[in-house]
Amino acid sequence: MKSLTVIAAIAGLGLLPAGAVAQDEGGGEGRLDPEPSRWQTSHSMDLNGETVEYDAVVGSVILRDNEENATAELFYTGYFRTNGGAPDTRPLIFAYNGGPGSASFWLHMGIMGPRRVVTPNVGQQAPPPYPLVDNGYTLLDIADVVMVDPVGTGFSRPAGDADGSDFWGMDEDASSLTQFIRRFLSENRRWNSPRYILGESYGTTRSVLLARHLQNANIDLNGIVLVSAVIDFNTLQFPPGSHIGFITTVPSFAVAAEYHDRLPGGRPDDLGAFMKEVEAWALTDYAQTLLAGTAVDPAQRARVLQQMHEYTGLSVEYLEKADLRVPAPEFEKELLRDQRLTLARLDTRFTGPTGDLLETTPDHDAQSSAISSAYTSLFNTYVREELGYDGDREYWPSGMTRNWNWEREGGRRGPFGGSALNVGPDLAHALERNPRLEVLLVNGIYDFATPYFPIVWSLEQMGLPPDLRDNITRADFAAGHMMYVEESLLPQWRETLEAFITRTAGGGLVP
């Protein structure tokens, strides 16, 4: 980082530190009303052969109800290029993580911001101090980036008489971010910028709902980037009598078994072709066998049992006991049980020691354990030492958004309050209403949190006509849930997103 200029927060300009309040101008009996917060610094970096100058803003937008009473102070960290052409026509990316209840520091410090955490590709991170380096793969040269922390994460908090339940739910969350984006566009004069939303994990579910809420507010998007996505929660569950989770997850079992060299027939010459082969088998022979239940032909069941052994590396005896139905957590525990190792859910290339060999599911995630301290430590260092934040709030990485409301407007419920949630119809609605909207799906093939094939299958169930189906493109990464933690894949990430934004930004793209 080559330059740093701190612009102080001045009360007279309405730039108060986090938590500062002012009297309600509407005369409401001494009711305290928060003022927007803002810490601004100026920087430059070398990126793709040019000098990129930009302002970094740690700031907030005040959300309000219909009577203009404050309901929340929603924080963001924004990066705005200052030597890249007219700001009002530069692409603008709003990005966030998932949870629900996770702050955006993972994407922020992994790939989206101008600085990034360095972590091992596969393995345990060394203890502090941790390395923080310039991010040569950020999109800041072609787009401005706004990292959003929904209410109850990061520095964002409810305000006034509101509480967390006003924001912690499917449509409540999307509604609050719709208001945030609307107010942000007005306050920053960015209404004519090409607009993108980028979410990871539950953030992809959020993006689908947010796109529809934004359309209802007459705000169309140029593109949606779904990173490690889920839109149909049926595909991530394994309840008795339901088959789709088992069917769509088997291809990920095969990919993990191949990586750990547990396939009885050895590793295939072409991993991509092998994946397609398992996907086709899962939707045909395997699906037919599960759907037949106890009426299945014994010879067919025996063939499927043997083939599942060949594709997953699990023993015939284990698969027989499981009745061909293996939930993902049990696979994580079973594949390397003989080595006393458990696969990580976020990235099955990571393994951790197994404690109780009789346990059927993991008690921790080896990848999360390996990198979480580095990300948490370096974000807190970076935001205070380089971005000038000196407020008194603690940054909440996750865990504060309790009692999430899974009920949708109109009464639909899931995944823990009745039938599982499927927001596929919302995405279909968004594409039908805005036929120029494009969607980029980014998968990590070693991801068991949101496995790659369930989302591929889910997108094919939306009933889109061929021309709208072509609006969805797919990019697979040889990585887990957070593909950006692997340095060797950062060029692929950069090339994939740059091509998507360049193609969809239209005349608004200013190099």
Q: Is the pLDDT of residue 508 over 70?
A: no
Residues 280-284 have a mean pLDDT of 98
Long-range CB contacts (< 8 A, 24+ apart) of 429-433?
429/212, 430/208, 430/211, 430/212, 430/215, 430/224, 431/464, 431/468, 431/471, 432/464, 432/468, 433/215
Name the more confident of 372 and 326.
326
The number of residues in the chain equals 511
Among 364, 350, 359, which Cα is nearest to 256's? Answer: 350
Given a cut of 90, is residue 27 above it in pLDDT? no
pLDDT value of position 506: 79
Encode pLDDT of 289-322 as tens digits. Answer: 999 999 999 999 999 999 999 999 999 999 999 9
Q: Residue 201: what residue type? A: S
Of 65, 494, 454, 18, the closest CA to residue 250 belongs to 454
Q: For residue 121, what are the CA distances in angstroms to 45, 65, 478, 487, 489?
A: 25, 45, 11, 7, 10
Residue 274 vs residue 19, higher pLDDT: 274
Lowest-pLDDT choice from 6-15, 44-53, 212-221, 333-342:
6-15
pLDDT of residue 18: 37
Cα separation, 92 vs 429, in Å, equals 23
Mean pLDDT to the nearest integer, 110-128? 81
d(CA 448, CA 470): 27
Burial of 124 (0-12, 13-18, 19+ CB in 10 A): middle
- Cα 390 to Cα 450: distance, rounded to the nearest angstrom: 37
Which is nearest to 129 in space by CA: 113, 121, 138, 117? 117
Q: What are phi and psi of 57, to 5 degrees?
A: -125, 120
Lowest mean pLDDT of 239-248, 377-386, 499-508, name the range: 499-508
**Local confidence band at 121 (pLDDT 50, 70, 90 cut-offs):** low
Residue 152 has pLDDT above 80, yes or no: yes
DSSP 389: -
pLDDT band at 368 (very low <50, low <70, confident <90, very high): low
Tell me what percent of the residues of the chain surpass a pLDDT of 70: 87
Q: Which two tokens stand for residue 362?
A: 């993991």
**What is the reported pLDDT for 367?**
59
- Using the predicted structure, report yes or no on whether residue 239 has a pLDDT greater than 80: yes
d(CA 480, CA 343): 12
pLDDT tops 70 at residue 72: yes
The Cβ of residue 321 has, within 10 Å, a number of other Cβ atoms equal to 9
Say what the pLDDT of residue 358 is.
64
Taken in order of first residue, the domains within the chain and their CATH numbers are: 5-233+372-508 (3.40.50.1820), 237-366 (no CATH)
Q: Are 289 and 297 in contact (CB under 8 A)?
A: no
Residue 361: predicted pLDDT: 67
Q: What is the pLDDT of residue 291?
A: 96
The residues near 399 (Cβ < 8 Å, ≥ 6 apart) are: 101
**Global confidence as pTM:** 0.90
Confidence band for 251, pLDDT divided at 50, 70 and 90: very high
Q: What is the pLDDT of residue 489?
A: 95
Cα 456 from Cα 264, distance rounded (Å): 27
Of the candidate ranges 60-69, 198-207, 411-420, the one whose mean pLDDT is the lowest: 411-420
| Mean predicted confidence (pLDDT) in 372-395 | 94
Give the helix/strand (H/E) hosting 338: none
Task: Measure the CA–CA gap between 92 and 33, rounded to whole angstroms.
Answer: 29
pLDDT average, residue stretch 454-469: 97
Confidence of residue 132 (pLDDT cuts 50, 70, 90): very high
Q: Taking residues 234-261, report their average pLDDT.
A: 95
- Across all residues in the chain, what is the average pLDDT? 89
